[in-house]
Amino acid sequence: MSQKVTVSVPNIGEATDVEVIEVLVAKGDSVEAEDSLITLESDKASMEIPAPEAGVVGDVFVKVGDKVSEGTAILSLDVQTTSGTTEKVPEETSAPTSPPVSSATSSTHGDDDNVPNERVEVLVIGGGPGGYTAAFRAADLGKDVVLVERYDQLGGVCLNVGCIPSKALLHVAHTIEEAAELADSGVAFNTPEIDLDKLRQHKEKVVGQLTGGLVALAKKRKVRVIQGRATLISAHSVSVEQEDESTVIHFEQAIIAAGSHSTLIPGFPYDDPRLIDSTGALALQDIPKRMLVIGGGIIGLEMANVYSALGTSVTVVELANSLIPGCDPDLVKPLQRRINAQYENIFLQSKVTRIEPEEHGLKVWFEGDKTPEHDTFDRVLLAVGRRPNGLSMGAEVGGVHVNDQGFIPVDRQQRTNVPHIFAVGDIVGQPMLAHKATHEAKVAAEVIAGHKAFFDARVIPSVAYTQPEIAWVGLTETQAKAEGQAYEKASFPWAASGRSLSMGRKEGMTKVLYDPETRVVLGVGIVGSQAGELIAEAALAIEMGADTEDLALTIHPHPTLSETINFSAEVAEGSVTDIYAPKKK
């Protein structure tokens, strides 16, 4: 026997009049319990509404573009009932809701019946870019997957308190700066009014849309997500500590994607809320009058950019002899020239030796040739790098080797020294970048599924989303000189770029490093507006073994910033006409 029930929108929190962006079923479709029926999108996240039970879809009452709220009828569903049953089937059923991260459920029990147990083919530890990519790819390849994430949102540091929220704030900061610079072109604006509450909401909306999308993608792939801290207790099992219970998960194969954490300097007063890390900086508690940024690397300079644009007087202190250590000095120079005029101070080859809380700020002692003995700041941001989490998850109990720094060594297939345990992302080594982690994750998942996959990327690009942006890929001059590697360089100044000049940004530069004998491209560096968007072409050129002639003969659209890569190659070939740079003999 069958009975028709009406499926309605379940409790979706405080959201009302939420738009239907996708209808995933049609009349006559057979669905199983938890199959997705429609997709909704609010201003914070997208969510899929699942079927409450198995059945055949009857009439569909909504379409794309409709606005729905809790209780709105979605469709009718013909469900089977057992003959002779006395249980009444309700005529209207709300689809079940799934929290962003589900609790672990018991499937089997081990020796201790009080501890829930699960068994799974593939366990992924960590829900950041490396973790969720590994989980989704493994599920796409037919594996039964459980993903354990410590926090209550998927996405890891990158989506929640790193790459994404920082870029949302940097976009605002760059817009503020560019609007002010338009005064030189005859368009002047009043000083912007900063509404911190709305700015935080903007950042959180961007984050919510992405993390909510991950929840939907996990459900669609039937990846089970468990919130809790995972610790290896054997080579084939982990204990997941949750708020009120622990669960043991037995796995056939595992992928460790447990990420990294901010590096701390011993002896600083971390119990004082005025001393913050990048997560605290992104929280935007206030706009301090004066801020000290300890660390002149990418993270520190990006956050300095945000706070400076919002009105904070910024001082940067860096232990190395240049900002963004490891990046070529000629790429850093245009950025440093700009922020020298914007920031209160930039101290290189200097360090902070002590911080003491006082009523009106944090008193900081310095060591360096040009630093004061001490100064007082409203807030201090500590941004001196990140450390892997390899030493905090019981890896050694599972037999997994972890080095003294906390990194887990892996081979080209992302295998650890334990053949059925893989590792990806920050925890396996530098560079600690999300785009490296996602590629490693796919390799690990594909190897687990029986594919002959290897991580064999020739190069991994890096980007500093400062103003101007800096991006580089492949060989750097700093690296070449240190290693004694022969190279030649061809550069093109953006002061000769029509597109750059039209944007009022002439400080940029693009350079190509190439082999003196074969002329194969070895590395590319770019400083200027949107450098991060341009560097991918260079990465592809190096991956494909292109030489300078290939880049020079590739027609680029005019006028664009992408032409500067073409022009740099023309400089190498001696064919450039936009500047005078005859080919070297």
End-to-end CA distance of the chain: 89
Helix (H) or strand (E) holding 337: helix 329-342
Is 158 in contact with 257 (CB distance < 8 Å)? no
**Number of alpha carbons in the 13 Å side-chain half-sphere of residue 59:** 5
Is 510 in contact with 524 (CB distance < 8 Å)? yes
Which residue reads 């002047």 in tokens?
188
With H, G, I as helix, E, B as strand and everything else as coil, classify residue 231.
strand
Cβ neighbours around 120 below 10 Å, total: 19
With H, G, I as helix, E, B as strand and everything else as coil, classify residue 9.
coil
* Spatial separation of the C-alpha atoms in residues 158 and 126, rounded to whole Å: 12
| β strands within 81-236, DSSP E | 92-94, 108-109, 116-125, 145-149, 224-227, 229-234
Helices (H), 221-328: 278-282, 298-310
Beta bridge partners of 68: 18
| φ, ψ for residue 296, nearest 5 deg | -100, 30
The residue type found at 13 is G
The residue type found at 97 is T
Is 269 in contact with 249 (CB distance < 8 Å)? no
User: Beta strand 379-382 with 313-317: parallel, antiparallel or unpaired?
Assistant: unpaired
The number of angstroms, rounded, from the C-alpha of 533 to the middle of its chain's C-alpha atoms is 16
The number of angstroms, rounded, from the C-alpha of 174 to the middle of its chain's C-alpha atoms is 20
Is 245 in contact with 411 (CB distance < 8 Å)? no
Residue 148 corresponds to which tokens in the numbers above?
A: 């354990």
* Spatial separation of the C-alpha atoms in residues 119 and 562, rounded to whole Å: 51
Peptide bond into 559 cis (omega under 30): yes
558 is a catalytic site residue: yes
| β strands within 440-508, DSSP E | 462-464, 469-474, 488-493
Is 232 in contact with 400 (CB distance < 8 Å)? yes
Is 97 in contact with 36 (CB distance < 8 Å)? no
User: Beta strand 73-80 with 67-68: parallel, antiparallel or unpaired?
Assistant: unpaired
Catalytic residue among 109, 401, 451, 558: 558
**Number of alpha carbons in the 13 Å side-chain half-sphere of residue 88:** 3
Which residue reads 């996708």 in tokens?
22
- Active site (catalytic) residues: 558
